[in-house]
A and B are shown apart, each in its own frame.
Chain A
Amino acid sequence: EADIYQTPRYLVIGTGKKITLECSQTMGHDKMYWYQQDPGMELHLIHYSYGVNSTEKGDLSSESTVSRIRTEHFPLTLESARPSHTSQYLCASSESGLDLGELFFGEGSRLTVL
């Protein structure tokens, strides 16, 4: 079992609300990632981090922001949610090293914006 946790699992909110999706891992991994996945579709990388105070945008443009103040914690924030943000958000982490190996995923946060 992977030691990476996401909360909340499900969130239904109204347009314009600010939301934060939490992601924590207890494996001491330096690399962490946020992917966005629509039903039946592929995963798109929206943010990644190589360590504390390091964050980068991924391939898919996203209005969300992330922070990495502690190794174990990589929260994602939407300042003003819109219906187009409705999706599943998956957090993952991997070990340090030159070669990118296995990703450990959380269970996901399914966001619905009304």
Chain B
Amino acid sequence: SQQGEEDPQALSIQEGENATMNCSYKTSINNLQWYRQNSGRGLVHLILIRSNEREKHSGRLRVTLDTSKKSSSLLITASRAADTASYFCATVGGSNYKLTFGKGTLLTVNP
């Protein structure tokens, strides 16, 4: 069963704007991770946030986690055309043996 669900499914913005993507999940987690996938390529890990953390930063990325609402958000600031990709959240549950992915958000950054 699907654990992570991203929202929106697609997002189109102009270069320089901020992009926010949300992820909701259903069961308790050990950590939540965000990945990026360029069209037809493999996934690249962006950031990991543990269940006892509320916010994490990495360069232009900011991730928040609200375990009471079972949700996370990924903010990309000052977006660039090169940020165009699909973004997936993935959760590690109590069994701790696998990552469960959502359907992803397709981000298009127009130059």
Are A42 and B102 closer than 8 Å at their CB atoms? Answer: yes
Chain B residues 61-104 with CB under 8 Å of chain A are 88, 90, 92, 96-104
Distance, CA A102 to CA B47, complexed state (A) = 8
**A58 to B101 Cα, complex, angstroms:** 13
Q: Is the CB of A90 within 8 A of B43?
A: yes
How many residues of B are counted as interface, with CB atoms below 8 angstroms from the partner's CB atoms? 26
Give complex CA distance A98, B45 in Å: 19
Report A's interface with B, CB cutoff 8 A.
Answer: 2, 6, 33, 35, 40-43, 45, 48, 58-59, 88, 90, 92, 98-108, 110
Number of A-B contacts (CB under 8 A): 68
Majority DSSP secondary structure for residues of A touching B: loop
Q: Is the CB of B31 within 8 A of A101?
A: yes
Residues of A within 8 A of B99 (CB): 33, 45, 100, 103
Identify which of A45, A90, A99 contacts B98 (C-beta below 8 A): A45
Q: Which residues of A contact B43 (CB under 8 A)?
A: 43, 90, 92, 103, 105
Q: Give the CA-CA distance A31 to B40 in the complex, in Å.
A: 24
In the complex, whether B13 has a CB less than 8 A from a CB of chain A is: no
